[in-house]
């Protein structure tokens, strides 16, 4: 959905996303980092059972909430850190619906 | 002036349940008014327990009255749902009061004896028992108890509902049965007329009413003071907190923690004497969070997402007030805590009493809940 | 340190300029922001922006550098990644930072929480691929990200057109701009146009943007209606009506923008009185010329106090700071007035074109705007139809609608549904949204883990040290 502009050379850090190792640019939010590597889905809505994606990127909509190091946090307000563990809980989407 | 047979002032849990009971009796035009006042919304601040355990330790009639109400709950909820299509989310899988340490365990055990005797004398059962820590843990396999939990007082025969859905369902049922509901309406004045009917001046116009029931919580005083009688009640704040949704793991409510039908945890039951202040205080949040984690350590990682304060309607002995206003045959007042647990008997027993047709087995209790008992 | 002269919530233009002024006076100032660094939305990541990005966004962005620099040198303390979850008019502030919550106190609190895009529910707006235009702007500033694939822009307001010109400059595959603003400006806007001529720079900028859009030959429709997003799990296409024509664009991204509104959750949680802006159709805190709310010790400044843009926000931050300094005994009234005179003049100059723009892009929601099937509350999955059903049962206040439907009860606390909820309830009852009420905001303003609350240091007296102010001054 988004791609980095051409002259975008930033250091990368290593994180775990749903059990897999990924690399995101340092000094960005988790939400921006994930959008930049084409991971637009942030969670499965616990009320509709549908996938959600970041909407506002400024801490208002809560659509980018994901489990980061064991706690559900707004990814757009959480700075990327080396070794972070992110779980989006994308499996079992259908069962979660009302 | 428009004419109404019965006017119920106050559309909270008590008023709505009573009004529903009245329309079921087919008594003509019944009107229910609610003010939607931000400070007096305790029905929207309810914890949601349909509970009898522990209630009435200081008042045997109240203990028995609560037991009677909970026995009617499953049937009451089923009828409401069938009529309105609302799912009030009643779960009838029991309830527990946790004990921390040996001493608290013994105190709980003693209370079972005391209230059990009161119920027995009224011809009712009191199916409550003490469980050891291990027995308690066995009942909730998906939720680990904190280290300090020594056991719990437990009954199979109570549960919890969604209080907001319940309120909406009762109002809807009331309307479906022909009742007239006005939200956001203020009553300015109640004036008894010479022909024993009562004039009520409201934001929706003036009405001449055959009977009037004031079930306006802390708003009762303003309306009834000019007529020479006010219910003996005082405000007591409770603060509640709610967490994010989490997969269901707590099958029945504990006194201060319950997991709702949609997965959120409600944590609560603080009580403070704070007049009409509904604010949320960090101190109470801190204490309640600590207690909840002490009971269920797993809760530590959940997010607290909402909180609110609500002001309970408390009487000196904790029991309800159902009273005829002195000198006015057709004017009644209802003021009570536990409006949710007592909703079924409001409809099935208090409503007929207002109409002068007592249901057998009710009068012995209702007569003990007069406002006059505090004036001896 | 847990006691400050002033705590400022928000490090955008208003918060930074107020913080700088107060810091320079030697006061003990703490500035908190949810983001890790200063800048707010408009100057997001300004301090670390590479040269090409500063150049790309131009002066509207790069002028934040000087402000951030001034703030840094002022001596005011900044804590980023700090989420305030409760603040009270007694000067207490609770916030969460790096897994810990704490409670601090200040003599004065300045709330500078800025603005947010007005959330407007559309059919299909919950699908992945639909975002605020401001979100795309933020991603570009924060991480140098550019939309990939086919993009449609829709909505109303000057920032919509600005975003269009930025996307074009980046070479994004922009398919169309769908403006809901009517072709003819509303009559009320015209008299304001005369005054707007006093700000030729801004008008010139607007015309330049329009010229760029025209030159690019992308499809630009005005007076568009019935925008809807089609897709199953993600956006597949965008549909709309233009006059009698059905528009249909197969696209990857829809960026929507319907103007901006004040971000008011903080002041509402504190209990500040609010007032309704009839033109902008939003709530803003009631305050005096210095930004003082109904509470003696609580101030607001910037777009959070009423939308007027970044330039004015910085000036208003300065005004609030001057009055707070006077209250703290640092300035006398005549000095305050002398310093404020030039700031007030600058605010006036900055605002010449504002009434014209406000009227030109005034939001209008007629009865057909919101469809029954449209999701209004994203958190709780509640549709417009469910709201209407409850209103039909005799409910007249948004807070009552909330308790029955759960609309506005999720983690976002009505940030995303509140404005539309008031419009829908207002329409159903044929009253102004103002009279449908405003959702009550209770702590926590943002979610906090229970373990943080449980391990918070409450102090021996629970923190409420009422005489502290008197002791100190």
Q: Residue B192's CB: how many other CB atoms inside 10 A?
A: 17
Question: What residue has token string 């529910």?
Answer: C121
CA B331 to chain centre: 22
CB-based contacts of C86, cutoff 8 Å, min separation 6? B280, B282, C92, C93, C94, C269, C443, C444, C445
User: What is the token pair recorded at B197?
Assistant: 């009917």
pLDDT of B60 reads 86
Dump the DSSP string for B323-363: EEPTT-TTEEEEE-S-TTTTHHHIIIIIHHHHTT-PPTTTH
Which CATH number is correct for A12-89, 3.40.718.10, 3.40.190.10, 1.25.40.10, 3.10.20.740?
A: 3.10.20.740
| Strands C100-111, C298-300: pairing kind | parallel
Q: Among B262, B292, B314, where does a domain finish?
A: B314
Question: How close B227 gets to chain C, by Cα (Å)?
Answer: 30
For chain C, the average pLDDT equals 92
Closest CA to B16 of B162, B163, B158, B227: B163
Interface contact C379-A62, CB threshold 8 A: yes
Round to whole Å and give the CA distance between B48 and B310: 13
Asked if B55 and B310 count as a contact pair (C-beta separation under 8 A), the reply is no
List of domains in chain C:
3-116+261-331 (3.50.50.60), 119-258 (3.50.50.60), 375-436 (1.10.10.1100)
Instruction: Please tell me whether residues B240 and B197 are part of one structural domain.
Output: no
Task: Among B182, B286, B303, select the one facing C458 at the smallest CB separation.
Answer: B286
* Residue numbers in C near B36 (CB within 8 A): 396-397, 399-400
H-helix segments, chain B: 13-24, 60-84, 101-121, 133-139, 163-176, 220-224, 282-295, 343-345, 351-354, 363-366
Round to whole Å and give the CA distance between C151 and C137: 14
Instruction: Out of B150-164, C38-52, C145-159, C206-220, pick the least confident.
Output: C206-220
Residue B63 lies in a domain: no
Asked if C7 and C32 count as a contact pair (C-beta separation under 8 A), the reply is yes
Residue B66 lies in a domain: no
Interface contact B307-C444, CB threshold 8 A: yes
pLDDT of C202 reads 76
Q: Kindly list the residues of chain A whose beta carbon comes within 8 Å of any beta carbon in chain C.
A: 1-5, 7-8, 25, 27-29, 32-33, 35-36, 40-41, 45, 47-48, 50-63, 65, 71-72, 74, 77-79, 98
Give per-residue pLDDT as tens, B294-350. 999 999 999 999 998 888 999 999 999 999 999 999 999 999 998 999 999 999 999
- Quick check: B289 contacting C, CB < 8 Å? yes
| C132 pLDDT above the threshold of 50 | yes
Return the number of CB contacts < 8 Å for A and B. Answer: 8
Cα distances (angstroms) measured from residue C463 to each of B277, B280, B289, C3, C102 = 19, 15, 18, 11, 11
Question: Terminus-to-terminus CA distance in chain A, angstroms?
Answer: 29
User: What is the token pair recorded at C329?
Assistant: 């005994």
CB-based contacts of B157, cutoff 8 Å, min separation 6? B70, B71, B92, B94, B127
Question: How close A47 gets to chain C, by Cα (Å)?
Answer: 6
**Averaged pLDDT for residues C11-16:** 98
CB-based contacts of C42, cutoff 8 Å, min separation 6? C12, C13, C60, C61, C64, C310
Residue B128 lies in a domain: yes
Task: With cut-offs at 50, 70 and 90, classify the pLDDT of residue C469.
Answer: very low
Interface contact A46-B263, CB threshold 8 A: yes
**Averaged pLDDT for residues C369-395:** 94
Residue B301 lies in a domain: yes
* Residue numbers in C near A45 (CB within 8 A): 378, 381
Interface contact B301-A70, CB threshold 8 A: yes
pLDDT of C463 reads 43
Instruction: Please tell me whether residues B208 and B342 are part of one structural domain.
Output: yes
User: What is the token pair recorded at C450?
Assistant: 């229970």
Instruction: Please tell me whether residues B326 and B300 are part of one structural domain.
Output: no
Round to whole Å and give the CA distance between C453 and B285: 7
**Averaged pLDDT for residues B244-270:** 92
* Residue numbers in A near B301 (CB within 8 A): 70-71
Task: With cut-offs at 50, 70 and 90, classify the pLDDT of residue A8.
Answer: low
Structurally, chain B folds into a number of domains equal to 3
Interface of B with C in 152-171 (CB under 8 A): 164-165, 167-168, 171
| Residue A34 Ramachandran class (φ > 0 left, ψ -120 to 50 alpha, else beta) | alpha
Interface contact A46-B245, CB threshold 8 A: yes
Residue B243 lies in a domain: yes
| Strands A12-17, A20-25: pairing kind | antiparallel
| A98 pLDDT above the threshold of 50 | no
| B252: CATH | 3.30.9.10
- Quick check: B240 contacting C, CB < 8 Å? no
Residue B84 lies in a domain: no
**Averaged pLDDT for residues C26-34:** 97
Which residue in chain B is spatially nearest to A95 when comparing CA positions?
B247
Domain span holding position B138: 95-156
* Residue numbers in B near A71 (CB within 8 A): 301, 303
Asked if A92 and A81 count as a contact pair (C-beta separation under 8 A), the reply is no
Interface contact A72-B303, CB threshold 8 A: yes
**Averaged pLDDT for residues C457-465:** 57
Interface of B with C in 55-114 (CB under 8 A): none
Which residue in chain B is spatially nearest to A97 when comparing CA positions?
B262
* CA-angle at C81, arms to C78 and C83, nearest 5°: 100
Find the Cα–Cα–Cα–Cα dihedral B47, B52, B53, B58, rounded to 10°: 100
Asked if C255 and C153 count as a contact pair (C-beta separation under 8 A), the reply is yes
| A93 pLDDT above the threshold of 50 | no
Find chains touching chain A: ≥3 CB pairs under 8 Å: B, C
- Quick check: A69 contacting B, CB < 8 Å? no
Give per-residue pLDDT as tens, C265-282. 999 999 999 999 999 999
The listed range with the strongest mean pLDDT (B50-59, C69-78, C182-191) is: C69-78
pLDDT of C466 reads 35
- Quick check: A71 contacting B, CB < 8 Å? yes
Instruction: Please tell me whether residues B123 and B27 are part of one structural domain.
Output: no
Which residue in A27, A30, A38, A59 has the most chain C C-beta atoms within 10 A of its own C-beta, making it the best mutation to test that interface?
A: A59
Asked if B304 and B245 count as a contact pair (C-beta separation under 8 A), the reply is no
pLDDT of C470 reads 36
Q: Among B314, B344, B365, where does a domain finish?
A: B314
**Averaged pLDDT for residues C463-470:** 38
B130: enclosing H helix or E strand: strand B129-132
Share of chain B above pLDDT 70, in %: 97
Interface contact B302-C92, CB threshold 8 A: no
Residue B151 lies in a domain: yes
Round to whole Å and give the CA distance between B336 and C324: 48
Question: How close B109 gets to chain C, by Cα (Å)?
Answer: 29
Edge-first strand order for the sheet with B149-155 is B95-100, B149-155, B129-132
Which residue in chain C is spatially nearest to B173 when comparing CA positions?
C393
Interface contact C138-A58, CB threshold 8 A: yes
* Residue numbers in C near A65 (CB within 8 A): 411
3-state DSSP assignment of residue C262: strand
Which residue in C116, C144, C304, C445 has the most chain A C-beta atoms within 10 A of its own C-beta, making it the best mutation to test that interface?
A: C144
Find chains touching chain C: ≥3 CB pairs under 8 Å: A, B
Interface contact B244-A72, CB threshold 8 A: yes
Round to whole Å and give the CA distance between B124 and B236: 30
* Residue numbers in B near C413 (CB within 8 A): 306
Share of chain C above pLDDT 70, in %: 97
Instruction: Please tell me whether residues B253 and B309 are part of one structural domain.
Output: yes
Which residue in chain B is spatially nearest to C380 when comparing CA positions?
B262
CB-based contacts of C307, cutoff 8 Å, min separation 6? C115, C259, C260, C261, C262, C280, C282
pLDDT of B39 reads 57
Interface contact C443-B172, CB threshold 8 A: no
Task: Among C131, C143, C379, select the one facing A32 at the smallest CB separation.
Answer: C143
User: What is the token pair recorded at B205?
Assistant: 């116009």
Task: Among A5, A47, A79, select the one facing C379 at the smallest CB separation.
Answer: A47
User: What is the token pair recorded at C165?
Assistant: 């010109």
- Quick check: B237 contacting C, CB < 8 Å? no
pTM score above 0.90: yes
Rounded to 5 degrees, φ, ψ at C37 are -130, 170
Which residue in A10, A12, A39, A60 has the most chain C C-beta atoms within 10 A of its own C-beta, making it the best mutation to test that interface?
A: A60
Question: How close C178 gets to chain B, by Cα (Å)?
Answer: 37
For chain B, the average pLDDT equals 92
Edge-first strand order for the sheet with C237-242 is C224-230, C237-242, C245-250
Cα distances (angstroms) measured from residue C435 to each of C84, C340, C365 = 29, 36, 16
Give per-residue pLDDT as tens, B84-128. 999 999 999 999 999 999 999 999 999 999 889 888 888 889 999
pLDDT of C389 reads 93
Edge-first strand order for the sheet with C150-156 is C130-132, C253-258, C150-156, C173-179, C219-221
Interface contact B263-A71, CB threshold 8 A: no
| Residue A69 Ramachandran class (φ > 0 left, ψ -120 to 50 alpha, else beta) | left
More confident residue, C175 or A4: C175
Task: With cut-offs at 50, 70 and 90, classify the pLDDT of residue A97.
Answer: very low
Round to whole Å and give the CA distance between C293 and C265: 14
* Residue numbers in B near C377 (CB within 8 A): none
**Averaged pLDDT for residues C437-458:** 94
Residue B62 lies in a domain: no
- Quick check: B355 contacting C, CB < 8 Å? no
* DSSP code, position B225: G
- Quick check: A48 contacting B, CB < 8 Å? no
**Averaged pLDDT for residues B66-73:** 94
Cα distances (angstroms) measured from residue C232 to each of B247, C128, C131, C236 = 26, 9, 16, 8
CB-based contacts of A23, cutoff 8 Å, min separation 6? A12, A13, A14, A15, A37
User: What is the token pair recorded at C305?
Assistant: 């106090």
Instruction: Please tell me whether residues B260 and B305 are part of one structural domain.
Output: yes
Asked if C364 and C156 count as a contact pair (C-beta separation under 8 A), the reply is no
| C310 pLDDT above the threshold of 50 | yes
C220-251 core/surface letters (b: 16 or more CB in 10 A; e: else): bbeebebbebbbeebbebbbbbbeeeebebeb
* Residue numbers in B near C444 (CB within 8 A): 304-307
Which residue in B204, B305, B310 has the most chain C C-beta atoms within 10 A of its own C-beta, making it the best mutation to test that interface?
A: B305
- Quick check: C462 contacting B, CB < 8 Å? yes
Give per-residue pLDDT as tens, A12-40. 999 999 999 999 999 999 999 999 999 99
| C472 pLDDT above the threshold of 50 | no
| Strands C219-221, C173-179: pairing kind | parallel
Dump the DSSP string for B245-303: E------S-BSSEEE-TTSEEEE----B--TT-----HHHHHHHHHHHHHH-GGGGGSE
Give per-residue pLDDT as tens, B99-109. 999 999 999 99
| C339 pLDDT above the threshold of 90 | yes
CB-based contacts of C325, cutoff 8 Å, min separation 6? C21, C22, C25, C27, C331, C336
Interface contact C453-B285, CB threshold 8 A: yes
| B237 pLDDT above the threshold of 90 | no
Round to whole Å and give the CA distance between C153 and C99: 38
């Amino acid at each position: 959905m988004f791609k980095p502009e051409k002259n975008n050379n930033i250091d990368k850090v290593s994180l775990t996303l749903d059990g897999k190792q990924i690399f995101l640019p340092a000094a960005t939010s988790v939400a921006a980092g994930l959008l930049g590597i084409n991971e637009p889905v942030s969670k499965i809505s616990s009320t509709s059972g549908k996938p959600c994606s970041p909407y506002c990127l400024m801490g208002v909509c809560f659509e980018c909430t994901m489990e980061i190091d064991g706690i559900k946090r707004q990814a757009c307000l959480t700075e990327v850190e080396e070794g972070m563990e992110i779980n989006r809980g994308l499996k079992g989407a259908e069962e979660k619906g009302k | 002036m428009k004419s109404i047979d019965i006017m119920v002032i106050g559309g909270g849990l008590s008023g709505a349940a009573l009004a529903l009971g009245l329309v079921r009796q087919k008594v003509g035009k019944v009107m229910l008014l609610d003010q939607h006042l931000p400070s007096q919304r305790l029905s929207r601040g309810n914890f949601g327990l349909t509970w009898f355990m522990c209630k009435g330790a200081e008042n045997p009639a109240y203990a028995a009255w609560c037991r009677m109400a909970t026995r009617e709950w499953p049937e009451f909820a089923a009828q409401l749902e069938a009529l309105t299509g609302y799912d009030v989310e009643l779960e009838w899988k029991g309830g527990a009061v946790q004990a921390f340490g040996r001493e608290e365990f013994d105190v709980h055990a003693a209370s079972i004896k005391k209230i059990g005797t009161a119920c027995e004398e009224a011809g009712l059962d009191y199916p409550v028992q003490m469980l050891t820590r291990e027995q308690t843990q066995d009942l909730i396999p998906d939720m680990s108890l904190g280290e300090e939990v020594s056991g719990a007082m437990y009954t199979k025969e109570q549960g919890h509902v969604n209080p907001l859905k319940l309120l909406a369902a009762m109002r809807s049922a009331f309307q479906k049965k022909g009742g007239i509901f006005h939200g956001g309406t203020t009553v300015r004045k109640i004036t008894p007329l010479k022909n024993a009917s009562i004039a009520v001046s409201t934001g929706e116009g003036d009405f001449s009413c055959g009977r009037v029931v004031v079930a306006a919580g802390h708003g009762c005083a303003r309306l009834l003071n000019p007529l020479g009688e006010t219910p003996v009640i005082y405000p007591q704040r409770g603060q509640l907190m709610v967490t994010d949704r989490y997969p269901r793991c707590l099958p029945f409510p504990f006194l201060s923690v319950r997991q709702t039908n949609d997965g959120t945890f409600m944590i609560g039951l603080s009580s403070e004497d704070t007049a009409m202040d509904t604010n949320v205080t960090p101190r109470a949040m801190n204490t309640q969070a600590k207690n909840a984690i002490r009971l269920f350590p797993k809760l530590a990682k959940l997010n607290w997402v909402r909180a609110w304060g609500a002001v309970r309607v408390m009487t000196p002995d904790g029991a309800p007030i159902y009273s005829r206003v002195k000198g006015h045959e057709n004017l009644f007042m209802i003021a009570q805590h536990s409006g949710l647990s007592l909703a079924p008997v409001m409809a099935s027993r208090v409503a007929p009493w207002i109409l002068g047709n007592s249901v057998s087995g009710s009068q012995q209790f209702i007569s003990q809940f007069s406002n006059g008992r505090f004036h001896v | 340190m847990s006691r400050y002269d002033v705590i400022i919530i928000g490090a955008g233009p208003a918060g930074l300029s107020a913080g700088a002024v107060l810091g320079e006076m030697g006061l003990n100032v703490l500035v908190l922001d949810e983001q890790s660094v200063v800048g707010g939305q408009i100057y997001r990541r300004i301090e670390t922006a590479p040269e090409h990005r500063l150049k790309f966004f131009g002066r509207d962005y790069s002028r934040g550098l000087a402000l951030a620099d001034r703030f840094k040198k002022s001596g005011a303390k900044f804590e980023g990644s700090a989420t305030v979850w409760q603040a009270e008019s007694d000067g207490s502030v609770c916030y969460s930072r790096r897994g810990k919550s704490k409670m601090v106190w200040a003599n004065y609190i300045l709330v500078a929480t800025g603005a947010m895009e007005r959330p407007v529910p559309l059919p299909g707006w919950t699908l992945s691929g639909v975002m605020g235009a401001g979100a795309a702007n933020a991603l570009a500033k924060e991480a140098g990200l550019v939309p990939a694939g086919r993009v449609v822009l829709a909505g109303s307001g000057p920032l919509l057109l600005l975003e269009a010109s930025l996307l074009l400059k980046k070479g994004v595959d922009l398919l169309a701009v769908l403006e809901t603003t009517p072709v003819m400006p509303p009559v009320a806007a015209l008299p304001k146009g005369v005054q707007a001529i006093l700000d030729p720079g801004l008008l010139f900028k607007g015309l330049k943007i329009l010229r760029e859009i025209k030159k690019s030959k992308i499809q630009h429709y005005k007076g568009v209606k019935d925008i809807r997003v089609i897709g199953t799990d993600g956006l597949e296409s965008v549909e709309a009506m233009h006059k009698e024509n059905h528009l249909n664009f197969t696209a990857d991204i829809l960026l929507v923008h319907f103007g901006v509104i004040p971000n008011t959750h903080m002041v509402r949680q504190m209990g500040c009185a609010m007032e309704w802006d009839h033109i902008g159709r939003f709530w803003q805190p009631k305050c005096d010329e210095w930004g003082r709310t109904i509470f003696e010790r609580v101030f607001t400044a910037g777009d959070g106090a009423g939308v007027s843009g970044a330039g004015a926000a910085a000036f208003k931050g300065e005004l609030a700071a001057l009055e707070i300094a006077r209250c703290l005994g640092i300035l006398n009234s005549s000095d305050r007035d002398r310093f404020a005179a030039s700031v007030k003049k600058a605010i006036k100059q900055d605002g010449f074109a504002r009434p014209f723009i406000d009227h030109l892009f005034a939001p209008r929601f007629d009865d057909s705007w919101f469809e029954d099937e449209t999701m209004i509350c994203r958190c709780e999955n509640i549709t417009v139809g469910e709201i209407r059903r409850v209103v039909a049962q005799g409910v007249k206040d948004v807070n009552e609608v909330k308790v029955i439907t759960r609309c506005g009860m999720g983690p976002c606390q009505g940030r995303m549904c509140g404005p539309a909820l008031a419009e829908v309830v207002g329409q159903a009852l044929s009253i102004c949204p103002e009279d449908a009420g405003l959702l009550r905001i209770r702590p926590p303003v943002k979610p906090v883990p229970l373990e943080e609350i449980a391990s918070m240091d409450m102090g021996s007296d629970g923190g409420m040290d009422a005489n502290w102010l008197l002791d100190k001054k």
